[in-house]
Structure 1
Amino acid sequence: MLNCTEDTSDHVTTSKKICLGIQSSDRRIRRQAYIDLREFITRNNLGDDILCSMFYEIHIYILSGIRDNAESVRSQTIQFLNYLIVEKLPLNDFYLTYIFPVLLERIGSAELIEESEEIRFQLVQFLNAVILKYSNSSQLKPFLNDCILILAETVKDKYPAVKELSCTTIVRLAKALPNDFHKQAESLIKPVLSCLTHQRYKVRLEAVNAVGEIIIHSTYKGLDEVVGPLAERLFDQIYVIRLAVAKIAGRWLLEYRDRYSYFYKILPLILTCLNDDVEEIRLESTLLWEKIGTQYQEENEKDLKDELDYLFTLPKYYPENMKRPNLGCRILIKRNVSKLSGAICRELTSWQEDIRFKCSQLLCVIVLHAEEGITQNLQDLLPAIYSAARDDDSRIVTNIFHACEIIGHFVKFHIWSKLLFPVIEDGPHYGHLTTLAGLIKGSPKECLIENIEKISNLLADDSICCNRKKRYQLEMLHCLTCLIEKCDKTASNTTGFNMFKAVVTLLSLRHPDIEEDMFLKVLEDIAVCLDVKDSDLLWRLYTLRLLEHINNTSTIWTITSDNACMFLTILYNSKGTFLENWKCIEVILNKVFDNETDAELKLKTLCILADIFQEKDMLLKDTENLNLFLLMVLTDVLIPSLIWHAGTTAEAIRTMAALCLQNILVLIQEANLMDTDIFMEQIVEQLLPLLTSLLEDASYRSRKLSAECLTLLKQICCLKNAWSVDSFIKIYPELLKRLDDPVENVRLCALKSIMILLESPPEEFKANHYKAHHEIIIDTLLTHFDDEDVQDMICDAMEKLIHINKELLLSRTNENAMTENMSNKLYRAVHFQWESRNLEQNLLIPKSNNDKEILKM
């Protein structure tokens, strides 16, 4: 025993001698003293008693090194203390009594005492090691306050490594003193929250873990303070941080002692992670969520007895592609949905896009869990849903549509329709329609079939389907597509008409950026749904009813009027049923071509009519109605439109009316239509002066079309034996004038028309008292013979004049050939024609000795 005491005394004395170096003015000697002291302890393998005595004697010297001016000495001091206190000395709060005041002095005050970042980091490492060694021991408990004060300052350190380690140390301290940490935990909340936004992800990660541990030991006030900042970490770009948030939220929902009062605050954290982009987070969150639900179910087993009896029975119309959450999860959401809905409404309208996106995902999760329990909160949620459905981010709109689809599965039609329909009727926007489309798509077909007509009535209302905005039209088509999926051939005729009307209205007002095929595809889908052969039959079924609807509106239309656009669309697309509805079309055309109607609308209508009259095969299927319709068009539409009015629009109308007339005349000629006295006596008499006047029109297209129409009119009159000399004399002078037209195409067209006009002229016109007319025709043609481009055509025209006045023609050609040195081409052509005709007559008539008489024949 005496020897042991002597050994202790010797070792203490030796250690004191070594510590004399700590008091040296040379920092190298001071630093070396700590190294020598460590080697001395290690070399002699000193026992606990000797080390305790040694610490008691030399602690003043060694602790002074922490305050040394030299950084290297302070660093070596901390290393020695870590070796001595943590590795060598046994557990005893005696040592801590001297250690913590020094730590508190150096890194536990608001004033920066320790300027070296590395030394501050070493000191926190030392504190962390001490806490770890004294974990779950009564010796550390008296120093809890000192630890809290130190960590509250170090966690705010500018050095990231110190921040990170401080957060880790907080977690370790909470685990080291689980029964006492709550007393001081809340004082760490604000300092730790400042680390959640640090630029280094490791600092943020450790801060999240620290927050999770602090809240477990805190009161409700701490939870209120951290939920918001922690929720922001769900948008962190580093996935491990989001994963940490999920784990923390899961732990709170499982372990937080006051969790039942604050489920609604914690639930969004874990539920948001269920839809994270990273699969690892989704899987971990799902496992945690199922565990939470199972625990909640077990804790409330008595209250859930009835539900547990039907635990494995799915609702009748449960979505096939979705897994039903366990009972505990569903009940937990149902009991908190009213508290969650308010927050969702706010966040869905946030100015930050990422928040709106995450919230839209959260909405899908909540409505899936709440099932029919969402009904009582639907009125509060819908306005926010409408707003989110109009978001520019397509991901948000997709989530909102999916959420509405789920709501449609669980909430009955008579409930959501009472909330949604009045809003749409008051003034719809495409957000309402997106919501409606989702609800329709989600509703079970068997439950919705009885109410399809109500929905179709809503969509077909003029105030709802008449809209020219792109997004609105796309969502209308989406609604109709979803509605078609719920229809079948048992749908009422009214439902079919309503869907047809809505699509045709949208097609009429189509936005330029939307392809026409989209609308036509929906019409085909309607036909398939109603078990109709094709979309053409759909037009046949509902066109008349739609025309009558249009006809009941105001008579004053413009080119932009909704009903005017619908009428033009019907004209263009319902060609197969055009003549079946001609009487109703006639009434509307009379309105369109009223004097007060917009000129541009008249022009557009004439364009479509011109296209229609080119569809010969379609029109000739019903010649009886065609004759009546053509007579109406000629009388009420084209003849008034050919009358001259000032203005460029009026000029375009005359041109289009002439084109339309040309197509009609071709149809009449080829099918031998309009075989009535009214056409010959009234229509032709009215058309001739208008067409001859149109030959002087400012538009060269109108002049050309007029010449072609006059030619067709002549041919039709010949077919019907109604070609008179009066008509001939009215036409040919105007055509001859067009030979001087400044436009080459018009000149050529006029010459062709003259050639056709000279074919089969009225017999009366060949009489001698019409010689002056003959001279005008011949002289005018000869005048234009100098134009090499038309010489062949003039020769052909001259040949036809042989049948009208051969002597005058021969005389004029001889004179021109002799006096003007004209090309022999014309001379030979006319004389060859005459000789050929003379030879034919000689073969038929007996010879006479009087050659002159033969020539006169």
Structure 2
Amino acid sequence: MDMKDQGSEDTIVGLKKMCLGLQSSDRKIRKEAYISIEKYLRSHSELSNQELRNIFSETYMYTLNGLRDKTESVREQAIEFVKFLIIDKLPINDYYLSYVFPLLVERIGSVELIEESEEIRLQMVKLLDAIITKYSNTNQLKPFLNDSVIILAEAVKDKFPLMKELSCRLILKLANALPRDFHCQAGNLIKPVLSCFGHQRYKIRVESIKAIGEIVMHCDHNGLNEVVGPLAERLFDQIPIVRQTVGQVAARWLLEYRDRYSFFHKILPLLLTGLNDEVVETRNEAAELWEQVGLQFQKENEKDLKDELDYLIDLPKYYPENIIRPNLGCRTLVKRNVSKLASALSRELMSWQEDVRVRCSQLLCAIVLHAEDGITQNLQSLLPAMYSAARDDDNRVVDNIIQASQLLGYFVRYNVWSDLIIPVIEDGAHYGHLIVLSGLVKGSPKEYIADFVEDISRVLAEDSICNSRKDKYQKEMIKCVEILSEKNSHGTNNSTGYYLFKIIVTTVALKHPNNETEISDSVFDSLRTGLKLETNQELWMLYTGRLLDRINKNPKLWTTVTDQACIFLTILSQSEEAFGLNLQSIHDILENVLDLECDAEMRLKTFYVLATSFEKKDLIFKRAKDLTKFLENLIQDIFVPSLVWRPGASAEAIRTMAAACLQHALMPSPEVDLFSDDTLRPVTEKLLPLLISLLEDASYRSRQIAIECLAFLKTLCCKKDMWNVDDLIKIYPEILKRLDDPTEKVRFSALRNLPIFLNSVPVEFKKANYRAHHELIIDTLLTHFDDDNEDVQNMVYDTLQEVAIINKKELLHKIDRHKPLLRNKKGCDKILESLEVLKIEEIE
């Protein structure tokens, strides 16, 4: 035996003695033994490979058994020693691995939990990691592929998060270490790795997605079919890096998977969804990866795409400015698979899961953008799903549906999509239909859609479609009007303006309370602009008459909730100058609506709206023709019957409102001559008895309004020199009676208006033969002149000033006679002073 062999033998003997410590019952001694052996071997760096093999052969039964030690600290030290021995000391040789792997499989590769310590299990996986790293791309690792897969399959299912994360990374390393052999066992890792997809730690989800991406690259098509569904669910992950990882994996498959042409339709959604992700970084990365995929596909199919590459290089006309057109490879790839993608999208857009609907709506936008006119054949299945998704509670889904609709409108011509959506709307529309329709119209270039705007407007203007009281439906209907107005290029030369006007007025009339701010008078602005008119009033003047004819259907049957009634009242209140241009049509409807046999509430509301309109007489009658005839017919056919007394609370309320409406109608206007000379007298003779009768009405408001109406009527008659003594004698006694009315408001109204009746009286009334009337007036006024209310005293004083002009002598006589009996002596003196001034003026 030479010196070298002797030295090797001595080393082995020495190590065996140290190994005796590994058999001690004291755990500290066992742990120290591992430390001593490692220290000893580190100090003998000159040992040859053969010597190391001999040492391993003689000591492995002692050293490796420490992996089973009952003490955790000893097992930990044993793993450190084995890692040092296998990785740092021993050369690459499958001989050593054949002793280590069975122990690893035993401890962490069985279904039953053998190694209870999480930290020890993690150390063992790290040992496996170090082995795979050292033996990567060597034949010595091949025999242990099965054991490695067994260990990793259990390790990824471990409850310890760090174990899962490291195991997923180790799968990638193992696949790269044995690229030609990994496919034999790759399939066994799919289900264990998929179990990590739902882990609460996003880092584990990311690593598991990367691992599954690698596994599928080495599997047959069954592997891809198994993982594509769970991988698609990760597109709904709240963490952006997880979604980005899905896109990276999908891009790799699209570029490198050997049978990718058969699975494009399954892989494409995984990457295309990222193009519309809410995170900018995710969108940008997905766009870059997708462009690479398209360019590669374009290169691989260069012969088939040669004509398009050579000639179709310019952007299509009117291509959306804010969108970059995908390259030809990307577009072709989607077009060839769009039928398979569309059917799945149609199902998932109506999923009960919110996240699924969001991602599918994002994917829809990407598919429409790439498929362009190739989407045409799939519209029949896509549109119903879009109608439903457009009503989603999640605004992200709705926004994506709108975007997709606009893209469809650009790429697909009107005659194609109109045949699908218009019949559906006619059968019974909801606001989802309108959202999609407005998107289609908005996306269509004006040059192509302008000739069809009238057809669309005609459909939407049908009563069954536009007469809706639903808040969201109304909002979308107005949006449709705005977009159709923008696309209209024919101005007022066709019926488009009328149809859109009808829709707006109907929507305003039936407005839902939630839409008070959204739907206001400004909704007419877009239509006015589209028709190139200067003011909204021009709209009313153009189309009010036609709309009145349209709604004039059985007005006697209307109630306050009847659609046509609401539209009519809206016209009365908002038409302004157009009111005067359609007096006959308005009268015809009013005559029926305000018939005594019609709904009481409807009559009440109509009188109220009409009274409000009459407040703007200067405006509504500005362009009126035959105004006198309209007012005469209105008074004769409507006001006269409505002012006749009838029993009941409803009749009383209607009587009051009719009187209020008449009051506004009779109110003199500086700009409008309400009655001609021929008609005012007959009107006066019909109204006087009714108004005088109304002064005795149970409703104080009716009595008060009757006084105002009589005052206005007197003013109108005086203006045309038609006020006579008989009229005055009929009215003033009744007004004097109201000075004793139980309601203060009525008394004050009588006192305010009495000077009007006593002003400019007919000359004949001043004669002596009417002295009895003068005495009645003076006696009554002097009685109220003593009222405690100072305001009453002042108003009586004003009235007495008018009486002085009629018969000053009698007034002086009465004051002198009543002064001693009156408390208001100060007021009497004031009147006498004013009469004295009047006397002086008369002398002068």
TM-score of Structure 1 vs Structure 2, range by shorter chain: over 0.9
Q: Specify the code of the residue in structure 2 equivalent to 1:794.
A: V
Map of 1:359-370 to 2, 5 A cutoff? 359-370=360-371
Give the corresponding residue for 1:464: 465
- The structural deviation recorded for 1:454 is 0.9
User: 1:301-355: per-residue Cα shift (whole Å, max 9, x none)?
Assistant: 2332333333523223322221111111111111111111122122211222222
What CA distance in whole angstroms lies between the structure 2 residues aligned with 1:668 and 1:812?
A: 39
Map of 1:254-403 to 2, 5 A cutoff? 254-403=255-404
Distance 1:816 1:219, change over 3 A: same
Distance 1:673 1:210, change over 3 A: closer
Are 2:274 and 2:283, in contact at CA under 8 Å, matched by a contact in 1?
Answer: yes
Residue 692 of structure 2 is aligned to residue 692 of structure 1: yes
What CA distance in whole angstroms lies between the structure 2 residues aligned with 1:305 and 1:82?
A: 59
Of 748-757 and 143-152, the range deviating more from structure 2: 748-757
What CA distance in whole angstroms lies between the structure 2 residues aligned with 1:376 and 1:155?
A: 45
Distance 1:813 1:293, change over 3 A: same
Are 1:296 and 1:332, in contact at CA under 8 Å, matched by a contact in 2?
Answer: yes
Are 1:503 and 1:519, in contact at CA under 8 Å, matched by a contact in 2?
Answer: no
Are 2:368 and 2:404, in contact at CA under 8 Å, matched by a contact in 1?
Answer: yes
Of 13-22 and 368-377, the range deviating more from structure 2: 13-22
CA RMSD of aligned residues (A): 2.4
Are 1:619 and 1:626, in contact at CA under 8 Å, matched by a contact in 2?
Answer: no
Are 1:467 and 1:509, in contact at CA under 8 Å, matched by a contact in 2?
Answer: yes
What CA distance in whole angstroms lies between the structure 2 residues aligned with 1:38 and 1:481?
A: 84
Give the corresponding residue for 1:741: 741
Q: Specify the code of the residue in structure 1 equivalent to 2:730.
A: K
Distance 1:576 1:86, change over 3 A: same
SS in 1 for 2:522: helix
Within the candidate set 783, 797, 800, 2:799 is matched to 797
Residue 6 of structure 2 is aligned to residue 11 of structure 1: no
Are 2:137 and 2:178, in contact at CA under 8 Å, matched by a contact in 1?
Answer: yes
Distance 1:109 1:587, change over 3 A: same
Give the corresponding residue for 1:85: 86
SS in 2 for 1:274: helix
Give the corresponding residue for 1:723: 723
Are 2:668 and 2:712, in contact at CA under 8 Å, matched by a contact in 1?
Answer: no
What CA distance in whole angstroms lies between the structure 2 residues aligned with 1:554 and 1:349?
A: 44
- The structural deviation recorded for 1:363 is 0.5
- The structural deviation recorded for 1:531 is 2.4
- The structural deviation recorded for 1:107 is 0.9
What CA distance in whole angstroms lies between the structure 2 residues aligned with 1:412 and 1:401?
A: 17
What CA distance in whole angstroms lies between the structure 2 residues aligned with 1:11 and 1:619?
A: 120
- The structural deviation recorded for 1:52 is 0.6
Give the corresponding residue for 1:754: 754
Q: Specify the code of the residue in structure 2 equivalent to 1:697.
A: D
User: 1:431-454: per-residue Cα shift (whole Å, max 9, x none)?
Assistant: 000000010011121111221211
What CA distance in whole angstroms lies between the structure 2 residues aligned with 1:34 and 1:328?
A: 62
Give the corresponding residue for 1:446: 447
Distance 1:670 1:582, change over 3 A: closer
What CA distance in whole angstroms lies between the structure 1 residues aligned with 2:687 and 2:178?
A: 109
SS in 2 for 1:139: helix
Distance 1:417 1:491, change over 3 A: farther
Give the corresponding residue for 2:776: 776
Are 1:489 and 1:529, in contact at CA under 8 Å, matched by a contact in 2?
Answer: no
- The structural deviation recorded for 1:516 is 6.4
Q: Specify the code of the residue in structure 1 equivalent to 2:199.
A: H
Give the corresponding residue for 2:618: 617
Are 1:250 and 1:289, in contact at CA under 8 Å, matched by a contact in 2?
Answer: yes
Give the corresponding residue for 1:526: 527
- The structural deviation recorded for 1:369 is 0.5
User: 1:508-548: per-residue Cα shift (whole Å, max 9, x none)?
Assistant: 22223334685533423222222223222222222211111
Give the corresponding residue for 2:60: 59
Give the corresponding residue for 1:850: none
Residue 503 of structure 2 is aligned to residue 508 of structure 1: no
Map of 1:612-691 to 2, 5 A cutoff? 612-618=613-619, 621-622=622-623, 625-667=626-668, 673-680=674-681, 682-691=682-691
Distance 1:314 1:807, change over 3 A: closer
Of 446-455 and 364-373, the range deviating more from structure 2: 446-455
Scaled by the length of structure 2, the TM-score of the pair is: 0.95
Q: Specify the code of the residue in structure 2 equivalent to 1:212.
A: G
Report percent identity of matched pairs.
55
Are 2:168 and 2:208, in contact at CA under 8 Å, matched by a contact in 1?
Answer: yes
Give the corresponding residue for 1:47: 48
What CA distance in whole angstroms lies between the structure 2 residues aligned with 1:207 and 1:830?
A: 106
Q: Specify the code of the residue in structure 1 equivalent to 2:639.
A: L
Within the candidate set 816, 819, 823, 1:817 is matched to 819
Are 1:639 and 1:687, in contact at CA under 8 Å, matched by a contact in 2?
Answer: yes
Give the corresponding residue for 1:408: 409
User: 1:779-802: per-residue Cα shift (whole Å, max 9, x none)?
Assistant: 322322221422233234334444
- The structural deviation recorded for 1:832 is 5.0
Are 1:695 and 1:702, in contact at CA under 8 Å, matched by a contact in 2?
Answer: yes
Distance 1:133 1:743, change over 3 A: same
Are 1:579 and 1:625, in contact at CA under 8 Å, matched by a contact in 2?
Answer: no
User: 1:482-509: per-residue Cα shift (whole Å, max 9, x none)?
Assistant: 1122122456321121122222221222
Distance 1:89 1:668, change over 3 A: closer
Are 1:114 and 1:120, in contact at CA under 8 Å, matched by a contact in 2?
Answer: yes
Of 7-16 and 653-662, the range deviating more from structure 2: 653-662
How many residues align? The count is 841
Give the corresponding residue for 1:712: 712
What CA distance in whole angstroms lies between the structure 2 residues aligned with 1:234 and 1:669?
A: 73
Q: Specify the code of the residue in structure 2 equivalent to 1:25.
A: S
Q: Specify the code of the residue in structure 2 equivalent to 1:793.
A: M
Give the corresponding residue for 1:143: 144
Unaligned runs of 5+ in 2: none
User: 1:620-674: per-residue Cα shift (whole Å, max 9, x none)?
Assistant: 6457522122212222222223223445554443333333322332336885542
- The structural deviation recorded for 1:768 is 5.8
Q: Specify the code of the residue in structure 1 equivalent to 2:732.
A: Y
Distance 1:151 1:835, change over 3 A: closer
Q: Specify the code of the residue in structure 2 equivalent to 1:792.
A: N
Of 311-320 and 288-297, the range deviating more from structure 2: 311-320
Distance 1:553 1:405, change over 3 A: farther
What CA distance in whole angstroms lies between the structure 1 residues aligned with 2:671 and 2:155?
A: 100
User: 1:698-756: per-residue Cα shift (whole Å, max 9, x none)?
Assistant: 43333222112112222333333433333323222221221122333321221222222
Scaled by the length of structure 1, the TM-score of the pair is: 0.93
Map of 1:589-600 to 2, 5 A cutoff? 589-600=590-601
SS in 1 for 2:469: coil
Are 1:389 and 1:434, in contact at CA under 8 Å, matched by a contact in 2?
Answer: yes
Distance 1:553 1:213, change over 3 A: farther
- The structural deviation recorded for 1:400 is 0.5
Are 1:499 and 1:526, in contact at CA under 8 Å, matched by a contact in 2?
Answer: yes
- The structural deviation recorded for 1:405 is 0.5
What CA distance in whole angstroms lies between the structure 2 residues aligned with 1:772 and 1:26?
A: 141
Of 832-841 and 463-472, the range deviating more from structure 2: 832-841
Are 2:454 and 2:495, in contact at CA under 8 Å, matched by a contact in 1?
Answer: yes
Are 1:151 and 1:166, in contact at CA under 8 Å, matched by a contact in 2?
Answer: yes
What CA distance in whole angstroms lies between the structure 1 residues aligned with 2:125 and 2:3?
A: 40
What CA distance in whole angstroms lies between the structure 1 residues aligned with 2:802 and 2:96?
A: 135
- The structural deviation recorded for 1:773 is 4.1
Unaligned runs of 5+ in 1: 845-857
What CA distance in whole angstroms lies between the structure 1 residues aligned with 2:625 and 2:449?
A: 46
What CA distance in whole angstroms lies between the structure 1 residues aligned with 2:780 and 2:555?
A: 54
Map of 1:599-610 to 2, 5 A cutoff? 599-610=600-611
Are 2:466 and 2:506, in contact at CA under 8 Å, matched by a contact in 1?
Answer: yes
Distance 1:38 1:646, change over 3 A: farther
Are 2:577 and 2:622, in contact at CA under 8 Å, matched by a contact in 1?
Answer: no
What CA distance in whole angstroms lies between the structure 2 residues aligned with 1:366 and 1:697?
A: 75
What CA distance in whole angstroms lies between the structure 1 residues aligned with 2:443 and 2:433?
A: 16
What CA distance in whole angstroms lies between the structure 2 residues aligned with 1:756 and 1:554?
A: 40
Are 2:580 and 2:622, in contact at CA under 8 Å, matched by a contact in 1?
Answer: no
Residue 178 of structure 2 is aligned to residue 162 of structure 1: no
What CA distance in whole angstroms lies between the structure 2 residues aligned with 1:670 and 1:661?
A: 19
